[in-house]
A and B are shown apart, each in its own frame.
Chain A
Amino acid sequence: MTVDQHGRGHAERRLSPADVRNVSLPRATMLRPGYSDVEADRFLDRLADELARLHAEKAELRDEVRALQEQVAGAAAAPEPPSDQAVRILATAQQTADSYVAEAEDFSRQMTADARAQYEEQLRQARENAGAIISAAQEAAARLTSGGRPPAADASGAGERTAEELEEQVAYLRAFGQACRTQLRAYLEALLADVEAEWGRADPGALPTAPPRTPAPNVAREVSRDDSAADDDQRTRTSAAAPEARTRR
């Protein structure tokens, strides 16, 4: 491969790496050693041209890559916004789903409400029936005792009356205790409120930090009414559980 073939004949043809590697420049005349100046200069010109062209192409490509990269990055950050049509379609679909769910919930609400109403009505009736049966039984029992056995006729009758009387007394005492308790507490609470108000007037600064404490009031702890059978039991348990607690009545 010689420059003659490629250099002169095809001036426009671009240089390849092989061209450079295989270049064989003609010798100069016998008188001057080395390559022919003309051929060497021409080849260097072609090399310079090629380098310049490559640089330009590289810059161009770099620009293109950057533009494409920006485009890709932009697409990721802000995707093509959905069209109004798409938004409308999805919104309608969502509304349809919402209305189905709402309907289902409403249906279940009606069903359970109906069931509950029925349940409560039946319960009420059952309780009423039970109440009627109990009072009928009590009446019958009363008739039997009063009709069958004249009062104070025998020991058991007397025993029953005593029990009745005792019950009455217990009820009275309980009511009395309750009343006392309520009054005492009302008095104490009012006293407390008074003390607090007075204290607040005398030294407002002291009020929030040191509110007046109840001086271990002598007030019974309430016993729920249906607990009467376990009254004594309860008292001991209460005081055992809280030795510092108030005494009863």
Chain B
Amino acid sequence: MDIPAMRASFAKAAATGDEAPLYFYAHLFLSHPETRTMFPVSMAHQRDRFFHALGDVVAHVDDLDRVVPVLQALGRDHRKFGVVPEHYPAAGASLLATLRHFDDEWSPELERDWSDAYGLVAKVMIEAAAEAADQPPWWDAEVVTHERRTVDTAVLWLRPEPEFPFRAGQSVSLETDVRPKLWRYYSPASAPRQDGLIELHVRAYDGGPVSTALVRRVGSGDVLRLGPPIGHISFDAESDRDLLLVAGGTGLAPLKAVVDQVARHGPPRRVDLFVGSRTEERIYDRADLERLDEEHGWLTVTFAVSHDDLSTLEHGDVGEVVVRHGPWNSRDVYVAGPAPMVEDTTARLVQAGVRPERIRSEVFAPSRLSPSLDGEVTE
């Protein structure tokens, strides 16, 4: 396989920007109209994602240790879209047609190389999907309760069917019938429970089609679909170091799951949870956190507000408040929230002497489409 030549031909298609993915999807839908229903009405993001993912694979194609696990995860994950093995050759034919269309030096050798390479990619994905066949492609999850906590935040409890296996701190993609074919990632705010219920925190972003629907249109009794869980914040359940958790916005969710994990499964460790917010009324889960604080002697919950002069809570950016309560040198630290908050808090903690390798963080942002090849949350 002539990898440099393949990279060059891919670069030609990629250089056209949106043209190449536009061509690809139009070609695919015309040759296999049945595939259209697997995609949302607006394809704009889909096009970005597809060529981005393909570019990742092309860039790292000679690093199999890195590419193969990603492809396997993709293959497993694609089952939730209703992708079956027969769809892979269809996409492959359209991909070759696209590359051929945008490459004026297309040759039979390139055609063969690309065809072989695509065949390998498809094989890895199909095999991974087949191995996951003992799991359902997706889980139906009924909304048991839906509480609007603030003007734009809701806390949902879901009951997945059948049992949904996941670990505290992982992320779950979900889709609602109100916004068909738009999958978004959320972090459960609970550890696995005996009754199988999952707690979810959703903040409606302005103009965000899925988050606003989840907050304002979905109600109890509605059924969502969950994709298989994906690991983000790699919560180290083995470590028995004490914990410092710092949350901003709905970044609270995975950290509350960590608290739940310690409460349910141990090992016993001291946990300090700091919850930052602009104003006091934006703290959407206060009652429940105060209940946990009261129930568990090992847990201390501190709220901080940054833009609320009248509040009796601690004032300042949450990172500042955390450092004020320090030192935290002996702790495992988890930080989750909006990008500026995560950066600020991490920087302050490192400055205060916390070893950087003990700090794990996750950025929460609108439209959390999927983890990229590097395991980071995109956009």
Contact = CB atoms under 8 A, between A and B. Distances in A.
A58 interface: no
B206 interface: yes
- Among A86, A90, A234, the most chain B Cβ lie within 10 Å of the Cβ of A90
A38 B296 CA distance: 118
A193 interface: yes
B97 interface: yes
Contacts, number: 118
Contact of A182 (B206, B301, B325, B328): B325
A109 B242 contact: no
Given A81-B31, A87-B27, A189-B330, A221 B209 contact: no
B69 interface: no
A8 to B, nearest CB: 64
Interface in A177-198: 182, 186, 189-190, 192-193, 196
A186 B326 CA distance: 7
Prevailing SS type, chain A contact patch: helix
Contacts of B270: 214
B300 A221 contact: yes
B379 to A, nearest CB: 14
A190 B329 contact: yes
Contacts of A127: 310
B68 to A, nearest CB: 28
B23 interface: yes
Interface in B185-215: 204, 206-207, 209, 212
Given A101-B42, A116-B151, A82 B329 contact: no
A238 B43 CA distance: 54
B312 interface: yes
A86 B151 contact: no
A97 B241 CA distance: 53
B138 interface: no
B329 A98 contact: no
Contacts of B241: 211
B178 to A, nearest CB: 14
B101 interface: yes
B206 A245 contact: no
A210 to B, nearest CB: 9
A238 B294 contact: yes
A86 B326 CA distance: 65
B284 interface: no
Size band of the A side of the interface? 35 or more
B240 interface: yes
Which of B44, B242, B325, B353 has the most A CB atoms < 10 Å from its CB? B44
Given A193-B330, A225-B313, A241 B29 contact: no
B298 interface: yes
Contact of B300 (A86, A105, A222): A222
A224 to B, nearest CB: 7
Contact of A119 (B29, B151, B293, B353): B151
Contacts of B101: 84
A105 B293 CA distance: 40
B30 A90 contact: yes
Question: Contact residue range for chain B?
Answer: 35 or more
A203 interface: no
A84 B290 CA distance: 63
A237 B295 CA distance: 8
B22 A109 contact: no
Contact of B297 (A108, A182, A226, A242): A242
Contacts of B297: 221, 238-239, 241-242, 244-246
Given A127-B310, A241-B296, A186 B42 contact: no
Interface string B304-328: 0000001011000000000001111
B290 A224 contact: yes
A213 B241 CA distance: 8
Interface string A64-81: 000000000000001101
A9 to B, nearest CB: 62
A112 B207 contact: yes
A222 B273 CA distance: 11
A213 B313 CA distance: 31
Nearest to A112: B206
A98 B44 contact: yes
Given A81-B97, A182-B325, A108 B240 contact: no
Contacts of A152: none
A221 B300 CA distance: 7
A218 B275 CA distance: 25
Contact of B22 (A95, A102, A112, A196): A95
Interface string A198-230: 000000000000010110000001101110000
28 contacts: A79-B31, A86-B30, A87-B23, A88-B26, A91-B25, A94-B26, A98-B44, A108-B206, A108-B207, A110-B207, A112-B204, A189-B328, A193-B327, A193-B330, A193-B353, A196-B330, A211-B240, A211-B241, A221-B297, A222-B302, A224-B290, A224-B303, A226-B312, A226-B313, A234-B294, A239-B297, A241-B294, A246-B297
Given A82-B31, A119-B151, 7 more contacts: A186-B326, A193-B327, A193-B353, A211-B239, A221-B300, A234-B294, A241-B295
Interface of A: 78-79, 81-82, 84, 86-88, 90-91, 94-95, 97-98, 101-102, 105-106, 108-110, 112-113, 116, 119, 123, 127, 131, 182, 186, 189-190, 192-193, 196, 211, 213-214, 221-222, 224-226, 234, 237-239, 241-242, 244-246
Q: Which 9 A-B pairs have the closest CB atoms?
A: A242-B297, A109-B207, A245-B297, A101-B42, A82-B30, A90-B26, A193-B329, A112-B206, A192-B330
Interface of B: 22-23, 25-27, 29-31, 41-44, 93, 97, 101, 151-152, 204, 206-207, 209, 212, 239-242, 270, 281, 290, 293-298, 300-303, 310, 312-313, 325-330, 353
